[in-house]
Structure 1
Amino acid sequence: MKEIELKLQGKLKRLTNHTFKFDERVREGWFSAVYFLKTKEIVEDYFPNNIVTMQFFQKQDAVLCGTDEVIALIKEFADKPEELEIFSLSDGEKIKPFETVLTITGPYQSFGYLEGVIDGILARRTSVATNVYNVVKAAGISGNQKPVIFMGDRDDHFTQQAGDGYAAHIGGVTAQATHAMNEWWGKQGMGTMPHALIQLFNGDLVAACKAYHEKFPEDELLALVDYNNDVITDALKVAREFGSVLRGVRVDTSRTMIDKYFLRNQHLLGTFDPRGVNIELISALRHALDAEGFNHVKIVVSGGFSEQRIIEFEKAGAPVDMYGVGSSLLKINIGFTGDNVMLNGKHQAKEGRKFRPNPRLEKVDLSEI
């Protein structure tokens, strides 16, 4: 967890705004709530010289993400951004409920219409980063940190992959499914075979693996072994065929299925839920591989994994080497609020809100972004 904790101390260098791609319609207010746009017009006529301070916070223990993106947004779309004074925490820092993470001071009409857009960026990126951090932490509670693969492409709108992938990187994942997910942090997507490849070889896993290895000999061979719902039989087939070339097997059994191993060993049933990827199945798979000398073959599990489910596997000592996680990492469960709290240097905010200075904030120099 050392690299993750380094991020959480805010010691990673800020990205430049060249990293981010924005829709030019932001400038027209296309993505801003209409009442912000109307307020902008009123302020331009009635109080063009007023200076406000807007601060942003949320209400949970979380891992902050999205500040780099927000700062780039402000530089790109605020009117005279060089005249704004911005203080911010950094992506990857741990934050507390109600802690101020960002302040912007300047003429309201310069940046106020971006309030909701900023809230949305911080909410989504921080939610994903926090979800990922909690899952990665769960995958290390046994004392042996297991890698986590971010497999959220099928659970996400494709336009969000780059930003969510960056947030997952901030949270601590080591690999991601698509190139887009890796775009903002300069890596490549990783992956081996889907069920579709095995289907195209008429369900013959060994034949599919042979074709994969011939086509991509530089890749580590990782076989997907649940296609026929008989993971131990198929894992042993491919291990016997490839020996030391086989680096691992992935189990992705549907939560509605019971593997054929349990149909052959019905005396095991009755004390646990045998559906999907379960601890008993993975333990039996590890035992079967080791019994034939395939100790080097790693076991990757995927399919409906969450923080709590990983904790259960780790506490039970399940012989998992890597977790693939998708949908649970994309739940947006953290919301940010932006408030005007200072007017012309004096406290002025709605009842229940006030300016909350945070000594951890650092001043942002837009000329260096």
Structure 2
Amino acid sequence: MTAPVAKAAARQGPPACDVSDAAIAARTDSYFNRTRAIVSRFGDCRVTYAVFMRRPVISAPRLAVEWLERVAAARGTRFEIELMHEEGRWVGAGDPIFYLTGPLAQLADLETIYLQKLGPPCVAAHNAYQMCLELPQVAFLAMEARHCAGFEMQEMMEYAAAVGSAAARREGAKGFVGSASDATAHYFGGTRGRGTMPHALIGYAGSTVRAAEMFHETFPDEDLTVLTDYFGREVTDGLAVCRRFPHLAAAGRLAVRLDTHGGRFLETLDPAESYAVLERHAPQVIRRYRSETELRYLVGTGVSAAAVWRMREALDEAGFPRVRIVASSGFGVAKCRVMAEARAPIDVVGTGSFLPEAWSETYATADIVEYDGTPRVKVGREFLLRRNGARRRGGIGAAEAGD
């Protein structure tokens, strides 16, 4: 390790899994550390925090709760967690997700970190839930890892996708069926990440067909999903792969992945032809007012509804009705909704767009609402005061559906 790299590594601080007092002190806001020192000097008291979000979300508290339990064990104490909304349930803005009770001297310095572990997963779970409901017959793959700020964020996001997906499945959606990496596959009931090839492999192979051959020779028992946009010949190269592997195509073990970037149209399309494709398959979707963004999703460049329909036409006309279409590139809630309205024949969506777009929406908040059993909260937050009937911790791991 070179000297600059070694210095950078030293500045990174303790690993996220470290729950020692020193590690927590290094990662939390300094005023919480000072509060802990003051309370320890002048006398501890038993407090209850209300922990909540400022926007509607899907409850995804497991990572925060499990972290709190690890800290309590390390400190030789016990925290009481009254979970008000089980994992996977819808939560309104300002409605406490859980109440957290324990000694103030043991809780004061934890707020920064457990809020980090609560807010982003709740918002991402809500996004994933909405996406799955918009396209209930489509399977989703979590492919956000490269857009995350390290593995800790990746784990939060994929846990969130699993929670939101489970909520949507209860309402009849297929939901998320896997992730791109082995480390988080367990959230989706698997042991391995899913995926076949990046654009780099096609560049290395020199042709789309050759890349498919290399993959199949190396992993003959795996299903084959082939990117088709590298050379700008989505239709031509997609059909060429189907003809090269007719047995996989006939068995439903072959898929083409559309990932055309927003700077060009799918092969054979332009604005006029894109409208013509939708006139053939979903005319109602383009006959009402559309925003500029919606029009781009329908007939614009990149992976549009017209592009998906054109690929389906080409596959069916060439005798490959069982070849599936995987779509990726910008599939957030709004794009999923437009694709549903166009009845786009998508089999699988690969997406990282359940990541919160407005990060300020992920900010979880905590306020103390009781000191030694006496209700007390800052003015304006009286709605957080604990009501009768709060539930003891339960439901973590159940991943139940939203209300």
* Residues 141-184 of structure 1, C-alpha deviations (whole Å, 9 max, x = no match): xxxx2111111012112322223222211121211111123255
Which residue of the partner structure matches residue 99 of structure 2? 103
Equivalents in 2 of 1:84, 1:260: separation in Å? 59
Residue pair 2:53, 2:363 contacting (<8 A) in 1 also? yes
Which residue of the partner structure matches residue 64 of structure 2? 70
Identify the match of residue 389 of structure 2 among 327, 351, 359: 359
Flag structure 1 segments of 5+ consecutive residues without an equivalent: 1-19
Structure 1 length normalisation: TM-score?
0.85
Return closer, same or farther for 1:121/1:284 CA change in 2, 3 Å cut-off. Answer: same
How many residue pairs match? The answer is 337
Residue pair 1:87, 1:363 contacting (<8 A) in 2 also? yes
Which residue of the partner structure matches residue 374 of structure 2? 346
Give yes or no for the alignment of 1:40 onto 2:36: yes
Which residue of the partner structure matches residue 51 of structure 1? 46
Return closer, same or farther for 1:154/1:83 CA change in 2, 3 Å cut-off. Answer: closer
Identify the match of residue 315 of structure 2 among 276, 289, 309: 289
Letter in 2 for 1:245: L
Which residue of the partner structure matches residue 243 of structure 2? 240
SS in 1 for 2:217: helix
Give yes or no for the alignment of 1:268 onto 2:273: yes
Deviation at 1:328, TM superposition (A): 4.4
Deviation at 1:93, TM superposition (A): 2.0
Equivalents in 2 of 1:69, 1:270: separation in Å? 46
Flag structure 2 segments of 5+ consecutive residues without an equivalent: 1-14, 166-175, 277-294, 396-403
Structure 2 length normalisation: TM-score?
0.78
Identify the match of residue 252 of structure 1 among 259, 265, 269: 259
Deviation at 1:295, TM superposition (A): 0.3
Q: Percent identity?
A: 28
Identify the match of residue 201 of structure 1 among 184, 205, 230: 205
SS in 1 for 2:350: strand
Equivalents in 1 of 2:102, 2:300: separation in Å? 60
Deviation at 1:70, TM superposition (A): 2.1
Give yes or no for the alignment of 1:113 onto 2:143: no
Deviation at 1:229, TM superposition (A): 1.2
Return closer, same or farther for 1:26/1:251 CA change in 2, 3 Å cut-off. Answer: farther
SS in 2 for 1:161: helix
Return closer, same or farther for 1:232/1:245 CA change in 2, 3 Å cut-off. Answer: same
Equivalents in 2 of 1:237, 1:182: separation in Å? 32
Return closer, same or farther for 1:26/1:260 CA change in 2, 3 Å cut-off. Answer: farther
Which residue of the partner structure matches residue 124 of structure 1? 120
* Residues 175-205 of structure 1, C-alpha deviations (whole Å, 9 max, x = no match): 1111123255662210011111110111x11
CA RMSD of aligned residues (A): 2.4
Deviation at 1:270, TM superposition (A): 7.3
Which residue of the partner structure matches residue 80 of structure 2? 85
Which residue of the partner structure matches residue 142 of structure 2? 150
Q: Which range moved further: 129-138 or 179-188? A: 179-188
Which residue of the partner structure matches residue 283 of structure 2? none
Return closer, same or farther for 1:315/1:231 CA change in 2, 3 Å cut-off. Answer: same
